[in-house]
Structure 1
Amino acid sequence: MSAEALKREIRGCTLCAEHLPLGPKPVVQFSATSRVVVIGQAPGRITHQTGLAFDDKSGHRLADWLGVDFDTLHDPARFAIVSMGFCYPGKASGGDKPPRPECAPTWHERVWSELPEDRLTLLVGTYAQRAYLPETKSWTMLERIQRWREFLPHFLPLPHPAWRSTLFIRDHPWFEAEVLPALRREVAQRIR
């Protein structure tokens, strides 16, 4: 199956429709040449409306972290955006609900089979980090990010680039001083 055919299949998915308050609208971005993969939590309400992943202030912050502009982040020839859940899961107290548990096991391996093997996967937030770094399940997100070097060249754990990350960066200046320059180098090597 081609990457394009797989995307069409994913976008038609209704696997967990009964649990989605706004209905299914899978948001995913990838191509056979995507060498940087961003795995987040799940689309937010704005992304559900627009159909564009990270289509808010967090997307602009993420692009800045990666050393690219907003449009480049959304270029599937360079970047895959394949979250733990592809549809907006709805609101919960204090934020959005967790990603639906059916999504990643159903689709991720099929997506990975369409991507280049020499890719960098950015694990944005706890859900992605626990799924793809299972040996660190008992760690905090801070511990994973502090030990980012241990996961290269395949993975790099990051906080979510939402407004709360401003507090994270303020409290952990090493993130801007050490992690972001390394992240930008790794991304630049893969998207040239």
Structure 2
Amino acid sequence: MIIGQAPGLKAHQSGLDFDDPSGDKLRTWLGVDRETFYNTDNFAVIPMGFCFPGKGKTGDLPPRPECRPKWHPSIIESLSEVELTILIGAYAQKAYLGERFQKNLTQTVLNYHKYLPTEFPIPHPSPTNRFWMAKNKWFTTDVLPVLQQRVEMILS
């Protein structure tokens, strides 16, 4: 199960979650192709907000707050055999990790192993996060291989 922020404008317009450059990067991070990703036997994608929230100064606005409490409990209850919840971005991590969320996203992702085997926090794969990625190379070298291995194990 993937819990992310909210659809970007392109994904919102297409009606497909992560049907944009963020999705391309996410699939690379997970080590899966489009067919595997969009197979609902493999992944359930649940955004924190179900519609494009609009543009802000430095990217999309935060997800609308009323969506998660209204829709997430019944959606999650309807899912069976969830072996891993991938929490994308600080909004999802704060909501689902609660007090276990570290002081910021970087520290939470750096300490991903504390949440295994059932949860895996990652940053948002948005191109706007390129500076975070450049500053935190350990994510690519140390965290992504573990994420890919965990996803591969579940899918096989």
Query: Is residue 6–residue 51 contact of structure 2 (8 Å, CA) maintained in 1?
Result: yes
Q: 1:128 aligns to what? A: 92
Paired letter, 1:191:
L
Residue correspondences, number: 156
The structure where helix makes up a greater share of residues is 2
Look at both structures and tell me which one has the larger radius of gyration over its CA atoms: 1
From 76, 97, 101, the equivalent of 2:40 is 76
| AA of the residue aligned to 1:110 | S
Written as runs of structure 1 = structure 2, the 5 A alignment for 1:24-39 is 37-39=1-3
Q: Which residue does 2:150 correspond to in 1?
A: 186
> Which is worse superposed, 152-161 or 130-139?
130-139
CA contact (8 A) 1:59 1:70 kept: no
- Runs of 5+ unmatched residues, structure 1: 1-36
Unaligned stretches of 5+ residues in structure 2:
none
Root mean square deviation, CA, Å: 1.4
Letter in 2 for 1:101: P
Percentage of pairs with the same residue? 44
Deviations 1:42-67 (A, max 9, x none): 01111111000111111011000001
| TM-score computed with the length of structure 2 as normaliser | 0.93
Tell me, yes or no, if structure 1 residue 146 matches structure 2 residue 110. yes
Is the partner of 2:44 in helix, strand or coil?
strand
One-letter code of the match for 1:103?
Answer: C
Inter-partner Cα distance in structure 1 for 2:149 and 2:79:
20
5 Å matches for 1:1-192? 37-137=1-101, 139-192=103-156
Distance of 1:113 and 1:158 partners within structure 2? 23
Distance 2:73 2:80 in 1: 13
Aligned-pair CA distance for 1:101: 1.0
Contact 1:121 1:154 in 2 (8 A): yes
CA distance in 2, matches of 1:135, 1:81: 24
Contact map agreement 1:63 1:70 (CA 8 A) in 2: yes
- The question of whether the paired residues in 2 share the 8 Å contact of 1:122 and 1:157 is answered with yes
Q: Runs (4+) of structure 1 moved beyond 4 Å?
A: none
Q: Counterpart amino acid of 1:50?
A: S
Q: TM-score normalised to the size of structure 1?
A: 0.77
**How far has the Cα of 1:154 moved from its partner?**
1.1
Change (3 A) 1:38 1:118: closer
> After superposition, what is the alpha-carbon deviation per residue over 1:136-187, rounded to whole angstroms, capped at 9, x for unaligned?
4561100000100000111111010011333323222221121111101111
